[in-house]
Structure 1
């Protein structure tokens, strides 16, 4: 029994630092990605959310989820920190480009979100999550 506990302790001591490094790297990429998303949106989500704008809350929440999906796939399939950093960055970039393309196609997005139109926010989140799932599939290869 003591031998088994020693093995488990050794495994935890060797694996936990790696787990934390990988998780914290992915979490940092997620926060950085959402920060970049907030910077490139043509509206100010935080201000709109404070005013009770549900469409802005939906789009920002959707961005968190859409960025987390491919990052989770990268985290699950990569065993090396640099691999997670590289492919996680690519995943974030793809998601930000998705938003950029959506803005180009849906010219009145700013007005729609600022006026609280849930339909526009739902469409944006749907597109972001759909691309995130494809992005995750590609990352998992």
Structure 2
């Protein structure tokens, strides 16, 4: 029974991680994977930050909840907070259209966004506990 629970939990975690990345992909007006194929390091950095931040929120949700349903709920809450943080950061930097700079390969913006995502996920993770 324990093995079945672990397998189900891992499957749910993988699906949630992939779903989180798909939703983040919808937020950009360009195709993230196409930009990666072109070698756009800025998009790679931002995507890496998105992946890490989603994994951090998901990991904390999984660690602090014994029920898969509660884990999914707290992941959803944390993930919504990550999305809101992105839009707030976009709003707070009116002279810097983030998606345009990423598409142009501005590595500094990619690094900044990766740090915003990861830093926000740590802060959100402390709320979930």
The alignment's TM-score, normalised by the length of structure 1, stands at 0.84
Q: 2:101 is matched with which residue: 89, 112, 127?
A: 112
Bigger radius of gyration, 1 or 2?
1
> Cα distance, 1:105 vs. partner?
2.5
Does 2:15 match 1:17? Answer: no
SS for the counterpart of 2:53 is helix
Match of 2:123 in 1: 134
Would the aligned equivalents of 1:30 and 1:68 in 2 still touch at CA under 8 Å? yes
> Which stretch of the first structure deviates more once superposed, 65-74 or 96-105?
96-105
* Aligned match for 1:77, one of 53, 61, 64: 64
- Cα deviation, residue 100, structure 1: 1.8
Over 4 Å off, 4+ runs: none
Cα distance in 1 for partners of 2:92, 2:35 equals: 23
Q: Are the equivalent residues in 2 in contact too, given 1:29–1:92 (CA < 8 A)?
A: no
Counterpart mapping for 1:50-89 below 5 A: 50-89=37-76
Return the offset for 1:28. Answer: 1.2
Identify unmatched segments of 5+ residues in structure 2: none
| Match of residue 31 from structure 2 | 44
Equivalent residue number for residue 22 of structure 2? 35
Residue in structure 2 matched with residue 97 of structure 1 by the alignment? 84
Q: C-alpha root-mean-square deviation of aligned residues, in Å?
A: 1.3
Q: Is the 8 A contact 1:56 1:113 kept in 2?
A: yes
Aligned residue pairs total: 127
Which structure 1 segments of 5+ residues have no match?
1-13
TM-score (norm 2): 0.91
